[in-house]
Every structure is written in structure tokens, then in C-alpha cells.
Amino acid sequence: MGRHSIPDPDEQPDEPDRLDDDGPGAETDAADAPDAADRGARTGPVPTGGPAVPRARRSLGEWRGGHRSEGGRRGVSVGVIAALITVVVLVSGVILWRFFGAVLSHRSDTAAARCVDGDETVAVVADPSIAEHVQQLAEEFTGTGRQVADRCVSVTVKAAGSNAVISGFIGDWPADLGQRPALWIPGSSIATARLQAAVGTETVSDARSLVRSPVQLAVRPELQSALGERDWAALPALQTTPDALDGLDLAHWGSLRLSLPTSGNGDAAALAAEAVATVSAPADHPATDGVSAVRSLVGGQPTLADTSLAEAMNVLLGAEDPASAPVHAVVTTEQQLVARAASSADRTDTLAGWLPSGPVAVADYPTVLLAGSWLSDEQVTGASEFARFLRKPDQLATFAEAGFRAPDTDDDTDDALPDSDVTDFPAIEATVPVGDDSLRATLANTVSAPAAGPATVIMLDQSMGEQDGARSRLANVTAALGAAVAGLPADSTVGLWTFDGIEGNAAVAAGPIDEVRDPVTERLEALGATSDGAVSFTTLRLVYTEALAQYQQGRPNAVLVITTGPHTDKTLDGPGLQDYLRGAVDPARPVAVNVLDFGDDADRATWEAVAEISGGSYRQLPSSDTPELATALSALLG
């Protein structure tokens, strides 16, 4: 075996290994090693037959023939040391970060639990129809010790109607309502539209429905049956026609006598007005084209001691003879109706609810999160948390027990709705389609700030001799028109013109309704049909010119043309009439031309253009022998 060869497993070394006297791992170079004899003399003979002497193990490098460094021990790499130090630092950093993070988190939690920065009050204003229930849940929310950052949050609730809240944002906030709110729960999203129209959209950061309640009519049970499947559009004519309910087999009941309370009634009156306008407007026309029907409905309501729901319901239920009662029906919500019935015994014989057929008007009670400089970050956050709290199943069940429906028709909380003798909570198949916020605010103003009665000149075609049902078209029209005029608001002004194939004539000069009601009715009853044509275009030119001259500020001014066509004018054709109107229309004195046209009138395109140019409405009916006639007249008279 060579000096530097690795021995075979069965090969014995020439001599036993020895440990270096210099310490572990040290060796003597071969050149300096003593010879064997000298070595044997110093150490003595090798023992035999005794236990084996352990031999030192050489490193792998030695057996492979490598030479050790001249400096002795091998050094450790600097890179390895740096890597180890880096790992130690990183691990230590993570441990310290977690430790101090836990300490700080604990301190933050402790500080919050102690509300070191004090309390924060979140002001909520809710419609009176829901405020009591919101207050109950606010106390529950506050009692849980809710915190935002280092402040404890408490919620206060004030009751106020939409008009008071909107007026407060426009001007000075009423002191009796406490702080300006962070959260507002009005009776419907109409109120949200009105607020944003008044003070800007930036005031509202979020609004979504909390609960819902359909708008109904509180009526006597007899009237519920008589109204049947009629819709919202039928109400203005029933309101303004003196003997409308007699025609529904309710002898001596007279007109509908519908009250639309605006106090303590949520937004029910505004929602009913929106439904009437939407359904009364011609197909594919905006709801504002039905606003005159709303004016007829509002203007024809009975006069009571005040505008509250309580007063209207007391009058409805207090009369011994329902036929002679000053009020036959009251617009309100399903929830309010249920609450009224539950508050007094034996109501099943005196009180019922009637839901008009077709689209349903719904009070949606939105949670309106407000934004403004008067709010702190903690108040904004607290209001948002409270709104979310109100939408939890347990809280929605609380509302359901009071008669409110869940915002989602499929929500299980509707199972908690109470049993009621006045409604079975029918399913809501479709809701009234609403327009944009501006349109909704405009319609709501017809109820909250109703305009004065209209100043209208009626222009009636005497050539309507066609047979419609049992009577002539003219007879049907004059009967319905007389009833509509009789139901106009007390401050209205009315005039009557008639025309045939020869000329147009002022039958009754325009004047206050109290002075001209009887003359107009008598003149209408005396009219007979003619067959010599209709000079409608030239007559309208005369009437429109006079209406401009007699324009009345502060009220809607209009000309109502009732015709069946075709015109027989020799000196003025359709394009000429349109040119006249384009030159005559005065934005400072707006006079709308509303047209009620029967049958297949060859002049239809002209009449539609006339209505559009003047800002009026066009309505076409195939026959006068229809309940829609009264509805159309109510919508077009003002």
C-alpha cells in the first residue's frame, strides 16, 4: 500500500495511529517523523492479546490524499456566517413584530373598550309612521356597547315628516329635531328625490329600501266591494263627478270624497299621486302628462279640520251613516291600516282596505346615509353600522310584526306578518314604474304644494252626432264634461266655446267656477249635434289668442279641444295652424293645448303636433261610451 493510498477493508495498518500531542486534528509531517526503532524505544513494545487500542479516525480529506493547509485548521466561509446572521436577524424581527403587534392590538382593544375618546352620538330622523320601531331597535343597538375606533356609539331617534326634514336642510335645521342626522329614514324614496332636487345629490351617500308597505285606500266595506277591479286612473273622475258612486250601486253616496292626508301618513299621498299620474298619462308619455288628473284628485278632496291621517280616519269611521259621511276613503299605507284596525276593537264591520288593480304604489322606507361637514368620521361609520343592523333577520322580523313587509318579497321575515281583519297582505306582482328623481319631485309637489286651480277654456265640437252606445257622441261628452267641470277646484276659472261647420262662438265667457258652473252646465245640456262640418282650426286660433290675452299667473292655463274631425276650415290648414302656434307660444305666458280626439280623425297628426308645440297632451278614444271618458276629461281639464 502506498503512503497516500486508501487501505482496503481487510488491510491492517503498519502501525497504530496515535493522537497528535498538539491536540485534536494535529499531525506531523512525514519528513519530521522519528524512525520506527526510535518510536519503539520510546513507547515500548506493542501489547498483544489485550484489548484493541482505539485508533484515531482521519478526515475524509486525508484519505483522499489532500494536503492540509499550512496554517493548521481550515477556516469557515464568510458567506456562510453572513447567511446565518441574516436568518437570525429576520427570525428575531418576525418574533418582535408579532410580539409588539399583539401588545399594541391589546392596548387598542383595551382603549376602545374603555372609550378613551368619549362617546359619539349618531342622530337618526325617521318618519313618524316607523319612528317608534326604529327607536326600539336603536336602544337595542346602543345597549350592545357598539364602538367606532376609541369612541362608544349611541343612536338617538327623532320623528319628523319629509317636509320638515327637507325644509331643515334648505334653511336652518329645527332645534326640536336635535342634531342634523347622519341617517334619515323617510316614508319613501320620493323624499330622497325631493331632498336631492333641493340641496344636491352630494348630500346623500347611499339609499336603499329597509321595509315596504303598499299604498291602499282605507274605506267602508260597502265601498270596497263597489270599487272592485278599478285602477288608479279611475279615481279622479270618481272624485270630481257628483254622483259617481251612485253609478256604482251606492245610492245617495255621491262622489268618492277621497282624502289624501299629508301629516302622519308617511309619503302615501305623494305615492298615490305618482300612481294616478303614471297610469293617467297616455302610453309612452311621461307621468307629468297625467299631472292634471292629480290636480283634480287633490283639488276635489273634502275639507277637514287638518291634514292629518288621524283626522281623516276619525271622520271616515265616525259617521253613523256611511253614505252621508264627509269622507268615504282615505289614502294610506297597508301598515298604517293594519295598525289602525289593531288599535280599536270591532273594526271589521266599519273598516276595509282597497288595493287598486294594476301596478302597486309602494312606500319603501329607505335608509338614507347622509354626507356633510356636520358629521364626523365616527358618526358616518356608526350610521352605516346601524343601517346594516336594521337589515338583519331579527330586526326585519320586528318590523314585520308591526305590519311592514321585507324589502325582498321572497324574504322569510314576511312570515312574521300579523293576522289582520282588514288585509290578507296580497302579493305584489308589479310596482308603479317611476321616473327619474326630478320627475318624482315634480309630481310630489302637486300634493305637498298643490297649484291653484286651472284656468281652462273648453272648445267643443258640435258635429259629434255619431251614435256611441245608447246616445250620441255629443250627448255622452256633454254629460261627462258637465260632471268634470262641477268637480273642479273652487279657485278654478272656466270658459266654454263651441264650433260647428260655420263658425266658433263663445258660449260662456271665462270666469270663476262658482260663477260659471251653472251657466256652463245649462249650455252643455242644451247643445244639439250639427252635421255641417267643423271649423276647428280657425276657432282654435281665436281661442288661443284670447287665452294669451287673459293669461292668469300662478295657475296652469290651458285650452281643451274636444273634437272628432275632420276640420272643414277653408282659410287655415294643418301646417298653417302649426305655424301660427309656433309664433304665438309665449314662454312667459304658457298656455297648453290639450286635445281629446275621437275615432279615426284624419286630423290626428295635426292635433298631436299642436299639443306638442304648446306643451299640452293629446288623447285619443275610439268611443265616448266608455268609463275612460271621465278619466280623460279629468286629466285634460287642467
Q: Residue 214 pLDDT > 70, yes or no?
A: yes
How far is residue 332 from each of residues 265, 344, 425, 482, measured CA to CA in Å?
A: 6, 17, 15, 30
Q: Can you say whether residue 272 is alpha, beta or left, with left for phi > 0 and alpha for psi between -120 and 50 degrees?
A: alpha
Mean pLDDT of 555-575: 93
Residues of the chain above pLDDT 90, percent: 58
Q: Give 240-289 pLDDT, tens digit per residue.
A: 888 899 989 999 999 999 999 999 999 999 999 999 999 988 888 888 88
Residue 363: C-alpha distances to residues 127, 228, 273 (Å): 11, 23, 13
| Residue 449 predicted with pLDDT over 80 | no
Question: What crossing angle do the helices spanning 628-636 and 291-299 adopt, rounded to 10°?
Answer: 90
Contact (CB, 8 A) for 633 and 596: yes
Instruction: Domain 451-636: give its CATH code.
Output: 3.40.50.410
Burial class (CB in 10 A: 0-12, 13-18, 19+), 608: middle
Question: What average pLDDT score do residues 342-358 get?
Answer: 83
| Cell (9 digits) for 544 | 288661443
Strand pairing class (352-354; 467-468): unpaired
- 597-610 pLDDT tens trace: 999 999 999 999 99
Average pLDDT over the chain reads 83
pLDDT at site 74: 52
What is d(CA 361, CA 141) in angstroms, rounded to the nearest whole number?
Answer: 31
Most confident of 268-282, 283-297, 437-451: 268-282
Cα gap 431→407, rounded to integer Å: 13
| C-beta pairs of 170-173 under 8 Å, 24+ apart in sequence | 170/198, 170/199
As given in the structure block, the three cell numbers for residue 419 are 293576522
CATH 3.40.190.10, the chain: domain bounds: 119-212+366-416
Name every residue whose Cβ is closer than 8 Å to that of residue 288 and which is 6 or more positions away in sequence: 277, 281, 439, 442, 443
SS3 594: strand
- Which distant-in-sequence residues (6+ apart) come within 8 Å of 75 by Cβ? none
Q: Check: CB of residue 350 under 8 Å from CB of residue 317.
A: yes
Among 387-401, 435-449, 459-473, 486-500, the range scoring the smallest mean pLDDT is: 435-449
**Which residues contact residue 414 at a Cβ distance below 8 angstroms, ignoring those fewer than 6 apart?**
400, 405, 406, 425
User: Which stretch of 34-38, 170-174, 362-366 has the lowest confidence by average pLDDT?
Assistant: 34-38
Please answer whether residues 288 and 439 qualify as being in contact, where contact means their C-beta atoms are separated by less than 8 angstroms. Answer: yes
The correct CATH number of 119-212+366-416 out of 3.90.1150.10, 3.40.50.150, 3.40.190.10, 3.40.1390.10 is 3.40.190.10
User: Residue 320 belongs to what H/E stretch?
Assistant: none
pLDDT of residue 52: 43
Residue 148 β-bridge partners? 151
Given a cut of 90, whether residue 55 has pLDDT beyond it is no
What is the fold of 215-363+437-446? D-Maltodextrin-Binding Protein; domain 2 (3.40.190)
Q: Which band of pLDDT confidence, cut at 50, 70 and 90, is reported for residue 105? A: low
State the pTM of this model. 0.68
Question: Where in the chain do CATH 3.40.50.410 domains reside?
Answer: 451-636
pLDDT at 48: 42
